[in-house]
Amino acid sequence: MDKIIDGKKLAEDILVKVKNETKKLYKNHKIQPGIAVIIVGDDPASQIYVSSKSKKAEECGFLSIKHVMSKETQEKELLQLIETLNSDPKIHGILVQLPLPDHINTNNITQTIAVQKDVDGFHYINIGKLAANIFEDTIIPCTPAGIMMMIQQKCGKDLSSLDAVIVGRSNIVGKPIAALLTAANATVTIAHSRTRDLDEVCRSADILVVAVGRPKMIKKGWVKKGAIVIDVGINRIATSEKKTTKSHIVGDVDFEEVREKVTAITPVPGGVGPMTIAMLMVNTLKATARAHKLPVPEF
């Protein structure tokens, strides 16, 4: 069995289904999913992410609208734009690219997006329903949703008798994936950089999800033999060649070391990243179906 969980291939398969469902939606109901992506400022990484999301939406057959705002944009202006998009029937999903400039309160922004258009899954109502194990009409954050698809592809939908350890407690990845794993009957531990004997905790995991932003932190000795390892980290580090200013991307897991010991592992890049964008398209398609009271496609 191939140890590498190919997120790119799995994402491509999901996007094929999204495209087909989008075609059917338009053919049968003359409805086109619409997503609005907002970027504030000129952060190069954010610009790349936004372009990638907008391009993928267009490839899926969505109406894709990009709003580019200067870094001097005031919070009030951004809130007004969101309110306009909330009431636009052609827009079914709204995404504000994070991080925002320091003078803008991120919580105010994410909580102003209409719950049913919150395709990032950051609204407190969506977060609360997920924590309460209520999945009907709940929008699940894209990265955790993609991670669960990867895990369930390897382990099946029922994770009873499996111990899962999540290293990282963020609202974007750590806490939502803990809720999803718990709902799938795994026994879940949330750990972080201040956890005592972290290496020992990690070694107890049948499923290890790492999202801490520390390059190659998880070594071979930290991982149980036969575990499944999901690396969410994206860290840019300098390439160790003389006379070069080049850099490359690595995860939070020392991939080459750890891959020898595990049943399955996600690479960085090419693992979780493509799945995050694919699940954004899934969330937008589902939001469109709900908005028009149509059957919600299963993925």
Catalytic machinery residues = 53, 97, 120
- In 3-state terms, the chain is what percent helix, strand and coil (to 5)? 40, 15, 40
CA separation for the pair 100, 185 (Å, rounded): 36
Please report which helix (H) or strand (E) contains residue 44, including its range. Answer: helix 44-59
Query: Which among 49, 94, 102, 50 is positioned nearest to 72, based on CA atoms?
Result: 102
Q: Which residue has the tokens 């580019």?
A: 68
Enter the tokens of residue 159.
């994770």
Contact 283, 274 (CB under 8 A): no
* Alpha carbon distances (Å) from 56 to 67, 117, 235: 16, 18, 23
Residues 6+ apart with CB under 8 A from 249: 234, 235, 236, 268, 269
